[in-house]
A = this chain, B = another copy of it.
Amino acid sequence: MAAGAEVRLLGERLSPYCIRVQQALAVKGVAGYEYVEEDLERKSQLLLSSNPVHGKVPVLLHRGAPVCESLVIVQYVDEAWAGPAILPSDPYERSRARFWAAYIDDKFFPSWEPFFKSNTAETFKNALPAVGTLEGALEECSNGKPFFGGDSIGYVDVALGGYLGWIKAVDEVAGTSLLDGARFPRLAAWAESFAAADAVRGASPAVQDIVAFYKKMQAGGETGASH
């Protein structure tokens, strides 16, 4: 459905959290919304007044009312619009999806984030246990289907999907393969399915753009995706 200026997203193009929200909007079929790129060095008055507590992107403005924090936004998008479900309908499955989305932000990301500063063999090794846990989560959630959400992209998929371009970019620069098929066959297949999925095509920046940004970060020219 066309959302027009009724829906605005304040974002930063390469932020995993903004990508995640754009993927959720795409899955839900919310189209034609206004995307506003923020300069985080000079935040707009609209951003500061819409998210006075954190001052961070993403912020979704729906008929002017701000929704902040990416996982809160994804749940809001799921509840406020008709369209394909992002969260499962069964309460227990919903609880598992929420558990794993929180794990991705609270455990996986902090274990992988050191790549922003250095990409040594130790950085890589330290990131593996959380990826291994996610391999198990995918087995648990997917019931042998391609996505955490089963046959279609759901809550855990966009939670992890927001980072996917970054994972690929870091792999390219560092010469690593985080979601290696030999080590993590399910996640490797998931990454391929996710990247190929019509539902989120166009909702993610080109990996090469992230590569260029990451190289600048490595050179000390950028402070990273800090939101």
Contacts and interface: CB of A to CB of B under 8 A. Distances in A.
Contacts of A102: 69, 72
A76 B53 contact: no
Contact of A95 (B73, B94, B95): B73
Q: Which size bracket describes the interface of A in this complex?
A: 20 to 34
Contacts of A73: 95
Q: How many copies are assembled?
A: 2
A91 B98 CA distance: 17
Given A53-B133, A133-B53, A92 B69 contact: no
Interface string A31-64: 0000000000000000000000100000000100
15 contacts: A53-B103, A53-B133, A62-B92, A65-B92, A67-B99, A68-B99, A72-B95, A72-B99, A75-B94, A75-B95, A76-B92, A76-B94, A79-B95, A80-B91, A80-B92
